[in-house]
Amino acid sequence: MSLFESLFGKKLHGPELRVQAAAALQEIEKGSPLSPDAVLKSLRKKQKPFYAFWRMGGEMHAEFRRVAQAALDRLAPVEILPAHEVAVVPWETWETPTVGDVLRKAFGAEATALLLSAPEKRSHKNALAELEALRVLANPDVVMVMIDEEDLLVDCAFLRALEGRIDPETEEVGQDLADAAKALGYTVQAVW
């Protein structure tokens, strides 16, 4: 055992990490009768090592979402998109993404929204913020939600409506989409 492992514990991978992720959700869920704020605080505190499992598109997203959504609904119920209506698209899909690339994804997606996500090394690893973004996007005036600094959750109907109204070659995707939303009278919000 290395000095690092003896001081900070052995780093888990694969199936072991999945077992830990499930155990963490069960532990948090046991505390759910106490306070929705306590549940959300626990999820925020414990989510980073389990992000790959709990994120939208992750293999345990449904379980995470059930626990988190129950707490969020106790604070303020909001109907949000089901996970299958959100297409997760990594920014690294393109070498240099343009607005046109995003518009093509929106037209090709059988989804209501696109989650444009940062590469793993720059990821916010905040599955709870992704759910909060879905809650914000439920407002019909909101067409785009920035999640931390890298990720965007964007309404596909809004993206499709931009065809012919925005320069598809621009590489300032987030800024140009935000400007277009504001010009059309929509709102862009951020969650952290």
Tens digit of each residue's pLDDT (9 = 90 or more) over 77-113: 998 989 899 999 999 999 999 999 999 999 999 999 9
Domain termination residue (choose one: 75, 105, 131)? 75
Q: At what angle do helices 173-183 and 99-108 cross, to 10 degrees?
A: 70
In one-letter notation, the amino acid at residue 28 is I
Give the pLDDT mean for 5-10.
43
Q: What is the pLDDT of residues 146-192, one digit of tens each?
A: 998 889 999 999 999 999 999 999 999 999 999 999 999 999 999 98
Neighbours of 96 (CB within 10 A): 6
pLDDT of residue 32: 67
Domain termination residue (choose one: 75, 107, 128)? 75
What rounded mean pLDDT belongs to the chain?
A: 89
Query: Nearest-CA neighbor of 34 among 79, 74, 77?
Result: 74
Same domain, 26 and 61: yes
Same domain, 98 and 45: no
Integer CA distances (angstroms), 190 to 50, 69, 133, in order: 23, 19, 8
Q: Which domain holds residue 65?
A: 3-75
For residues 89, 94, 96 and 97, what is the CA-based torsion angle, rounded to 10 degrees? -40
Please identify which residue in the block is written with the tokens 């999945």.
18
Q: What is the pLDDT of residues 105-136, one digit of tens each?
A: 999 999 999 999 988 777 777 889 999 999 99
Same domain, 136 and 107: yes
Same domain, 120 and 57: no
pTM: 0.85
Inter-residue contact 191 to 129 (CB < 8 Å): yes
Tokens of 27: 């532990």
Same domain, 34 and 16: yes
Total domain count, the chain:
2
Same domain, 168 and 133: yes
Tokens of 3: 């000095």
